Amino acid sequence: MNPPWIMSWDHGAAEIHPLGGMLGPVLFTLPDGRCVQPFFVAPWIGDASVPSLPPLLQGLRGEFPCVPFGAERDTPIPGWQGRAAAIGDGAAHGHSANHDWQLLDRGPDWIEIGIDYPAGHPVRRLRRRVSGRKGAAALDLMLEVEADRDIDLGIALHPTFRLPETAGATEIEVAGLIKGMVFPAPLDSTGRAAPGAAFARLDQVPGVDGAVIDFSRLPFAAPNEDLLQVQATGGAVRVVNRQEAWAAHVEYDPVQFPSVILWVSNRGWTGFPWSGRTRALGIEPARAAFDLGQTVSADPDNPLVRTGVPTFFHLKAGEVLRTKYVISVEGLS
């Protein structure tokens, strides 16, 4: 893998990696002088077997855009077959998450990178800017998606945070949560949430055994792998790490991204490279149908669309979709 670009500002320093345009690790300097690195960085990075992994997993870390979001399933989930046309780039979370980005420009406290998509792809290029906010432990981020032809496209952002070892030490607060749905099939035998179940509160999610599960407090003591999609109007998620006395904030445009996908990876997957050692929490603003890929997300008759949840952007040829979002950290007393 090519070396990262390093960017710093008066309240932190960040790595931006060419592969996937992935951001992380990032050291945020808090007013009390502490430095906090909130992002997940895959524990297998540096293993000898890493080159055998798909590019997305080789350097999985921090935050990156997914255009299109998700991956096509070899065996469709009943009721979620997806009638939209496949893009066919064959890459989980899109071409940009699996290939090297190029440096476009940079300043003392910001960096701009971009990636061109292959000829014939409905997406022409992406541009991404990461800026340190002067006087604050905060990053301002911008993403531009330029369409090459008319396309309905499922897109998500992919911030991923570390989960501590102590059970229940992380709290999740989703502003303006309206409703949610559990992924419609088991991710793993360790899954706690009932596949396809609907819920109105994060602390009252139906479980596989009929119990009510509190997904607002993580990690669980026992291993689990779960995926939830919530519809929310507040445009903000707060991740509170009580064990280390900090909170991270993800702020985004809730009109552009009406859903947040919560990926809870807590030592459930035991195959390589996960190896039962991964503690990660994805907080993923999305206009997509879970991570089921383009054929489902762009299907105007998928089950989420039928319940009033938009799952794709409609882009015209030459149109540029632009979104801004913020990731910040505060200290807790």
Q: What b/e sequence results for 185-211 when a residue is b if at least 16 CB atoms lie within 10 Å of its CB, and e otherwise?
A: bebeebbbbbbbbebeebeebbbbeee
How many domains are there within the chain?
1
pLDDT reported for residue 206: 98
pTM: 0.97
Per the CB < 8 A criterion, the answer to whether 101 and 129 are in contact is no
Structural domain that includes position 162: 5-331
Residue 150: both structure tokens together? 């008319």
Counting as low any pLDDT under 50, the low residues of the chain are: none
Residue 282: both structure tokens together? 């994805």
Does residue 330 sit in helix, strand or coil? strand
Tracing tokens 């960085």 back to the chain, one arrives at 41
The alpha carbons of the chain give a radius of gyration, in whole angstroms, of 19
Q: H/E element holding 218?
A: strand 217-218
The span from the CA of 325 to the CA of 155, in Å, is 14
pLDDT reported for residue 333: 85
Torsion over CA of 55, 59, 61 and 63, rounded to 10 degrees? -50
Handedness of CA 75, 78, 80, 85 (dihedral sign): positive
Q: How far is CA 160 from CA 61, 174, 239, 279, 333, in A?
A: 7, 15, 11, 10, 24
User: For strand 160-162 and strand 279-287, is the pairing parallel, antiparallel, or unpaired?
Assistant: antiparallel
CB atoms within 10 A of CB 252: 24
Phi, psi of 66 (to 5 degrees): -125, 110
Tens digit of each residue's pLDDT (9 = 90 or more) over 280-328: 999 999 999 999 999 999 999 999 999 999 999 999 999 999 999 999 9
User: For strand 212-213 and strand 205-206, is the pairing parallel, antiparallel, or unpaired?
Assistant: antiparallel
The span from the CA of 174 to the CA of 160, in Å, is 15
Could you tell me how many helices (H) and strands (E) the chain has, helices first? Answer: 3, 25
pLDDT reported for residue 135: 97
The span from the CA of 233 to the CA of 84, in Å, is 27
- Domain containing 250 — which CATH number? 2.70.98.10
Chain centre to alpha carbon of residue 77: 22
Note the maximum CA span of the chain: 54
Per the CB < 8 A criterion, the answer to whether 50 and 273 are in contact is yes
User: For strand 246-251 and strand 236-241, is the pairing parallel, antiparallel, or unpaired?
Assistant: antiparallel
Tens digit of each residue's pLDDT (9 = 90 or more) over 221-256: 999 999 999 999 999 999 999 999 999 999 999 999
